[in-house]
Amino acid sequence: MKVLVIGPGGREHAIVRSLLADPKVSEVHAAPGNAGISALVPTYAIDANDPDAVAALAVRLTVDLVVVGPEAPLAAGVSDAVRAAGIPVFGPDKAAAQLEASKAFAKEVMAEAGVPTAMARVAGTAEEAADALDTFGAPYVVKDDGLAAGKGVVVTNNRDEALAHAQSCFDAGGTVVIEEFLDGPEVSVFVLCDGSNTVALSPAQDFKRIFDNDEGPNTGGMGAYTPLEWAPEGLIQEVIDRVAQPTVNQMANRGTPFVGVLFVGLALTSRGTRVIEFNVRFGDPETQAVLARLKTPLGGLLMAAAKGDLDKVQPLRWSKDTAVAVVVAAENYPDTPRTGDRIRGLKKVDALDGVHVIHAGTKLDGEGKVVSAGGRVLAVVALGTDLVEARERAYDGVELVQLDGSQFRTDIGGKAARGQIRVTAPGTPAASKAKA
Q: pTM value?
A: 0.90
* Side chain identity at residue 204, one-letter code: A
What is the spatial distance between Cα 69 and Cα 190, in angstroms, rounded to a whole number? Answer: 13
Residues paired with 402 in a beta bridge: 344
Summarize pLDDT for 417-430 with one digit per residue, the tens: 999 998 876 655 44
Mean pLDDT, range 203-213, rounded to an integer: 96
Summarize pLDDT for 65-116 with one digit per residue, the tens: 999 999 999 999 999 999 999 999 999 999 999 999 888 899 899 999 999 9
Number of CB atoms found within 10 A of residue 172's CB: 9
Q: Which domains does the chain have, with CATH numbers?
A: 2-93 (3.40.50.20), 119-179 (3.30.1490.20)
Summarize pLDDT for 284-332 with one digit per residue, the tens: 999 999 999 999 999 999 999 999 999 999 999 999 999 999 999 999 9
Q: What is the pLDDT of residue 436?
A: 44
For residues 10 and 285, the answer to whether their CB atoms sit within 8 Å is: yes
Q: Which residues of 169-240 form beta strands (DSSP E)? A: 176-179, 186-194, 198-200, 205-206, 209-211, 215-218, 223-226
What is the spatial distance between Cα 103 and Cα 93, in angstroms, rounded to a whole number? Answer: 17
How far is residue 235 CA from its own chain's centroid? 19
Task: Flag whether pLDDT at 337 surpasses 90.
Answer: yes
